[in-house]
Amino acid sequence: MAVKIDAEKCIGCSACIDTCPVTALKMENEKAVVDEETCIDCGACIPSCPTEAIEE
């Protein structure tokens, strides 16, 4: 299962991108998106989000 990103809360800061050990996060239309097939649900990105837009 992959983490979920709330697009309403995401401010497009990209802080989460570099924290992902498997490069499952990318920016699209100025918002972070997760590749559900690549995400290993480790949660490394969750504390990096200043708006709490990422959850398990």
- Mean pLDDT (the chain, rounded): 97
Work out how many domains the chain is built from and give that number.
1
Task: Identify the pLDDT of residue 31.
Answer: 98
Give which of 5, 42, 47 is closest to 27, Cα–Cα: 5
Task: Identify the pLDDT of residue 1.
Answer: 87
Tens digits of residue pLDDT in 27-46? 999 999 999 999 999 999 99
Domain residues for 32?
1-56
Whichever domain contains 30, its CATH number is 3.30.70.20
pTM score of the predicted model: 0.89
Q: Are 20 and 45 in contact (CB under 8 A)?
A: yes
What mean pLDDT do residues 13-21 have? Answer: 97
